């Protein structure tokens, strides 16, 4: 297996060559804001000659590299998971891919002889993410990408291949605009970053401990930021921010799972899956991920100079909109159309979101989203707002014209935000990022199937309490994803926290967790 950078892998067998989630175009992703760290521009294009197939796990553009995929032979199959929305397939076909194969969960796609691959989607459809399981040359690779797969899913993966996993790739870096883009003071931001980073690392460690693959590989991040307007976000690379690098992730795993073999691969590094021997790419002689911040900054500065034309192109592709009312009118039509998609989501939002849009055609616009409709006031700013987003009109124009998706804008980090109260609302983000009737309906149906009265028991501060088995936020199985500390239960699926005295969610908009004391008396004395 050859690492291509970020989450990109080339898996090879005697007669099989599969490319998984390649991100190789020089233009980066998310409006020219993200680039793979470290640079993978030196890779030999012959690596992707004579491919059997390409598999793409989901539509985030650091996994779905549309310009690169458009350059591959027309008859090459591109394999994708089946999600409630068909956006992923549509984007591939718009990029010129004619041979798109959509796989159901656990459906095997034959690669030849006894070789195959399948996809493992996240259980909750709020996030369209999937792992990829490959069986090639008698070896098994679980390529988790960004997916938060469950322990039960990893156990089934081992049953599918009939043996322990040879290699498990795990994403241990964040991929979020929170708290990076929020207007917190330094102390509060550091506190949130620490909680998110540690929560992510703990969740992955828990999964790896249960799976015990022959080798674990931390990857799928971190990104780096080469636009001068975003460059200071690199200060969180390698800690203490939400973007731990590959070395920090490996060190964490080795400290907590000392018997678990682990390594990381830089672009061009290769690992043989029979004996787990690693061959390092000569390009990385003298490069040290553990070097200090000055060396890291020098490397990123030189990298940014090489990518300056790509960053400039991203700005050119998103020109300043004309002055006048056109942008506001398009924004109103766009948001009010979203309000027609799902009453279920609107009822769970019920927020006013203020958009402070700078530049020509901008203004202060209040979007009253839910509980029963969306209404946009283009003369806003006169009433309290739960969320405030500040951004340049050039980036918003791409969203309202369909050039850019909301989640791409948010992941670009090209905005600032605050919220009062400081509670996350997943339904707001879900409405924006999906903007698709089938996707929203799937979330509603999924959440309706979880039994709210099924419970598990946990210990907290000398009490034994029964709590809802399924997280009220996204239905994660708390038997697998819950950690308890200081009277608070945290679901490691999405880091929602619940007070074990009242059941109230402490850090986001969510229904409460059902909590009741377990009678400590023996059965005969009750």
Q: What pTM was estimated for this model as a whole?
A: 0.88
Q: Which of 454, 430, 425 is nearest to 441 (CA)?
A: 430
Q: What pLDDT, on the 0 to 100 scale, is given for residue 455?
A: 86
Q: What pLDDT, on the 0 to 100 scale, is given for residue 490?
A: 85
pLDDT greater than 90 at residue 511: no
DSSP at 93: H
- Residue 181: CB atoms within 10 A of its CB come to 20
pLDDT in tens, 392-434: 999 999 999 999 999 999 999 999 999 999 999 999 999 999 9
Q: What percent of the chain has pLDDT over 70?
A: 97
**Positive or negative CA dihedral for 408, 6, 158, 199?**
negative
- Domains along the chain with CATH numbers: 2-306 (3.60.15.10), 326-442 (3.30.1050.10), 450-525 (2.102.10.10)
* Highest mean pLDDT, choosing among 171-185, 255-269, 511-525: 255-269
Q: What pLDDT, on the 0 to 100 scale, is given for residue 183?
A: 96
Q: What pLDDT, on the 0 to 100 scale, is given for residue 220?
A: 65
Give the pairing type, strands 455-460 and 167-171.
unpaired
Which residues 6+ apart lie within 8 Å of 335 measured at CB?
Answer: 367, 369, 374, 376
Query: For the ranges 80-94, 174-188, 449-463, which has the lowest average pLDDT?
Result: 449-463
Query: For the ranges 35-49, 162-176, 311-325, which has the lowest average pLDDT?
Result: 162-176
- Number of helices (H) and strands (E) in the chain: give both, helices first: 14, 27
Q: How far apart are CA 296 and CA 304, in angstroms?
A: 12
pLDDT greater than 90 at residue 520: no
Looking at every residue in the chain, the average pLDDT score rounds to: 92
pLDDT greater than 80 at residue 203: yes
String of DSSP letters for 401-450? TTSS-HHHHHHTT-SEEEESS--B-HHHHHHHHH--HHHHHHHHHHHHHS
Q: What pLDDT, on the 0 to 100 scale, is given for residue 523?
A: 41
Q: Are 265 and 218 in contact (CB under 8 A)?
A: no
pLDDT greater than 70 at residue 238: no
Dihedral in degrees, nearest 10, Cα atoms 72, 75, 81, 84 = 100
Q: How far apart are CA 172 and CA 427, in angstroms?
A: 25
Confidence of residue 181 (pLDDT cuts 50, 70, 90): very high
Q: What pLDDT, on the 0 to 100 scale, is given for residue 525?
A: 37
Q: What pLDDT, on the 0 to 100 scale, is given for residue 350?
A: 95
Q: What pLDDT, on the 0 to 100 scale, is given for residue 519?
A: 67
Q: Mean pLDDT over residues 308-313, rounded?
A: 98
Q: Mean pLDDT over residues 262-277, rounded?
A: 97
Query: For the ranges 186-190, 293-297, 462-466, which has the lowest average pLDDT?
Result: 462-466
pLDDT greater than 90 at residue 484: no
Q: What is the 3-state secondary structure (H, E, C) of 324-379?
A: CCHHHHHHHHHHHHHCCCCHHHHHCCCEEEEEEEECCCCEEEEEEECCCCEEEECC
Provide the angle, in degrees to the nearest 10, between the axes of the packed helices 246-256 and 186-211: 60
Q: Mean pLDDT over residues 302-316, rounded?
A: 98
The two tokens of residue 36 are 């793979």
Q: Mean pLDDT over residues 79-102, rounded?
A: 97
Q: How far apart are CA 396 and CA 391, in angstroms?
A: 7
Termini Cα distance of the chain: 60
């Amino acid at each position: 297996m050859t690492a291509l950078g970020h989450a990109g892998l080339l898996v090879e067998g005697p007669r099989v060559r599969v490319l998984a989630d390649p991100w190789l175009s020089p233009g980066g992703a998310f409006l020219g804001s993200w680039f793979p760290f470290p640079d993978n521009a030196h890779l030999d294009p012959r690596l992707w000659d004579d491919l059997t197939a390409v598999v793409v796990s989901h539509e985030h553009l650091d996994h779905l590299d549309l310009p690169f995929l458009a350059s591959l032979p027309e008859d090459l199959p591109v394999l994708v998971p089946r999600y409630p929305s068909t956006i992923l397939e549509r984007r591939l076909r718009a990029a010129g891919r004619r041979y798109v194969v959509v796989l159901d969960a656990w459906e095997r796609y034959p690669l030849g002889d006894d070789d195959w691959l399948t996809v493992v989607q996240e259980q909750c459809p709020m996030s369209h993410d999937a792992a990829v399981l490959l069986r090639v040359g008698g070896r098994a690779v679980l390529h988790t990408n960004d997916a938060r797969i469950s322990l039960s899913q990893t156990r089934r993966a081992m049953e599918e291949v009939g043996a322990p996993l040879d290699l498990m790739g795990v994403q241990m870096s964040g991929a979020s605009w929170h708290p990076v883009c929020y207007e917190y003071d330094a102390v509060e931001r550091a506190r949130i970053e620490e909680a998110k980073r540690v929560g992510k690392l703990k969740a992955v460690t828990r999964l790896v401990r249960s799976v015990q693959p022959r080798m674990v590989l931390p990857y799928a991040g971190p990104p780096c930021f080469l636009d001068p307007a975003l460059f200071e976000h690199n200060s969180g690379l390698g800690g203490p921010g939400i973007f731990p690098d590959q070395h920090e992730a490996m060190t964490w795993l080795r400290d907590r799972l000392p018997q678990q073999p682990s390594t990381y691969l830089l672009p061009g590094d290769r690992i043989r899956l029979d004996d787990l021997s690693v061959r390092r790419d000569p390009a990385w002689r003298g490069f040290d991920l553990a070097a200090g911040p000055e060396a890291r900054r020098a490397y990123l500065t030189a990298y940014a100079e090489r990518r300056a034309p790509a960053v400039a192109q991203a700005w050119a592709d998103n020109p300043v909109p004309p002055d006048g009312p056109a942008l506001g009118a398009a924004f109103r039509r766009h948001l009010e159309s979203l309000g027609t998609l799902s009453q279920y989501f609107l009822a769970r939002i019920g927020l006013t979101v203020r958009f402070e849009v700078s530049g020509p055609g901008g203004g202060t616009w209040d979007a009253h989203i839910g509980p029963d409709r969306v209404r946009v006031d283009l003369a806003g700013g006169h009433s309290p707002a739960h969320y405030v987003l500040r951004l340049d009109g050039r980036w918003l124009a791409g969203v309202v014209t369909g050039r850019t998706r909301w989640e791409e804008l948010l992941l670009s980090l090209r905005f600032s935000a605050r919220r009062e109260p400081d509670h996350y609302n997943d339904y707001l983000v879900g409405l924006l990022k999906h903007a698709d009737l089938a996707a929203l309906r799937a979330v509603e149906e999924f959440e309706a199937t979880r039994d709210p009265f099924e419970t598990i028991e946990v210990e907290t501060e000398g009490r034994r309490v029964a709590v809802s088995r399924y997280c009220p936020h996204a239905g994660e199985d708390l038997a697998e994803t819950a950690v308890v500390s200081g009277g608070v239960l945290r679901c490691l699926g999405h880091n929602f926290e619940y007070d074990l005295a009242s059941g109230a969610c402490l850090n986001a908009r969510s229904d409460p967790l059902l909590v009741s004391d377990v009678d400590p008396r023996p059965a005969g004395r009750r």
